[in-house]
């Protein structure tokens, strides 16, 4: 069982965090790696392939970022759903920061929205109405951490969209957003730098789409 270059990179990313901040040198020779470690690397690789939106660095660093006094778990932990839960908890914690500290996430989200609209040949004002397999596409993008909530607060009344969903749909994927969106709106409106950036970004996306969707 051989490792691909991608799998070697994944393992080295894990090793960097497993060193818990101590000096780290990437492993180059994998000839004597144990079968159990090899198997775990393959499992982690498949998991990260399935959830391509996951940042490797944040995935392996999530437990220490959430609990700085804890050491990074062994590799097998990252083959489990507990690791996914830890990663999602980290992303949720990051969302609760001051909006001024989320510019990079907002910027990446704006880029995703622009490319999504271009790919699906829709104007920006239709993004929050677009559905993929009966589910609002923006909700899926939010769940996969492709967008930040601040990216869409100027694109229509998404709160009413969520409220109008069936009870089953809310239970599956909307209740968590409903619990946080009011606080997100308040932080957004109290952070003029972010609000201005979002509005200017929307104008740029609209100009870009008009040019390429003609």
Query: CA 147, CA 110: separation in Å to the nearest integer?
Result: 7
| Residue 214, pLDDT above cutoff 80 | no
The model carries a pTM of 0.78
**pLDDT, tens only, 56-80:** 999 999 999 899 888 899 999 999 9
**pLDDT, tens only, 36-49:** 999 999 999 999 99
**pLDDT, tens only, 163-182:** 999 998 888 888 889 988 99
**pLDDT, tens only, 128-150:** 999 998 899 999 999 899 999 99
Residue found under tokens 């789409």: 209
């Amino acid at each position: 069982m051989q490792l691909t270059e991608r799998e070697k990179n994944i393992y080295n990313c894990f090793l960097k965090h497993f060193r818990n901040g101590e000096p780290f040198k990437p492993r180059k020779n994998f000839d004597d790696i144990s079968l159990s470690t090899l198997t775990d690397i393959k499992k982690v690789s498949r998991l990260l392939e399935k959830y391509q939106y996951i940042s490797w660095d944040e995935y392996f660093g999530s437990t220490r970022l959430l609990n700085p006094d804890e050491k990074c778990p062994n590799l097998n932990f990252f083959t489990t759903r507990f690791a996914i839960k830890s990663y999602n908890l980290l992303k949720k914690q990051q969302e609760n920061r001051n909006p001024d500290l989320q510019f990079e996430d907002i910027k990446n989200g704006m880029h995703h929205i622009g490319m999504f609209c271009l790919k699906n040949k829709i104007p920006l004002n239709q993004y929050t109405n677009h559905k993929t397999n009966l589910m609002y596409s923006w909700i899926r993008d939010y769940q996969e951490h492709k967008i930040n909530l601040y990216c869409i607060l100027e694109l229509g009344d998404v709160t009413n969209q969520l409220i109008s969903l069936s009870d089953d749909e809310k239970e599956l994927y909307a209740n968590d957003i409903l619990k946080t969106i009011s606080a997100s709106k308040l932080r957004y409106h109290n952070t003029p730098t972010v609000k201005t950036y979002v509005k200017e970004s929307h104008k740029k996306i609209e100009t870009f789409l008009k040019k390429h969707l003609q």
